[in-house]
Amino acid sequence: MNLREIKEVLQAEVLCGENSLDVEIQFAGGSDLMSDVLAFGKPGILLLTGLTNSQSVRTASIIDASGIVYVRGKKPDEDGKKLAKEMGIPLLSTQYMMFEACGILYNKGIPGVSKLRE
């Protein structure tokens, strides 16, 4: 499933990275706690979060995430958006709550990080 399809199923708005929507998403994870993302995230992850400050983007960049979906209708602050543009990280925003957004993607066949472990 690519980001464009994810945008459709989550009825999400693209905040930046309109040109990167063809990227294939292999797995995803959801957390508002960036230390957890750093501990359990893997390169390529699609990050679902409700944390809107620039640390969400910084964390995604450090672990080479494929993109960020902000849940509960949230949007990143200006610093975060600017940083995402610099780093080339696509940002989406969905009205769905965290649990619902994760459930929808999981139901569509996007696994979580633990499925990637041997």
Partner 1 sequence: MMESEYGLSEKFTIKGGDFSRAGAISTKVKKILQELGIPPQIITRTAISSYEAEMNMVMYAKEATLTLNLTPEAIHIKINDKGPGIEDISLAMKEGFSTATPKMREMGFGAGMGLPNIKKNADKFELSSVLGEGTTYNIYLYLDGNK
Among 2, 8, 18, 53, binds partner 1 (CB under 8 A): 53
- In angstroms, give the least distance from the CB of 88 to partner 1: 13
Sign of CA dihedral 41, 43, 82, 104: negative
CB 90 within 8 A of CB 14: yes
Assess 33 for contact with partner 1 (CB under 8 A).
yes
Contacting partner 1 within 2-31 (CB under 8 A):
none
Among 21, 55, 74, 113, binds partner 1 (CB under 8 A): 55
Q: Which residue lies nearer to partner 1 by CB, 8 or 64? A: 64
Q: How many residues bind partner 1 (CB under 8 A)?
A: 23
C-alpha 109/C-alpha 98 separation (Å) is 17
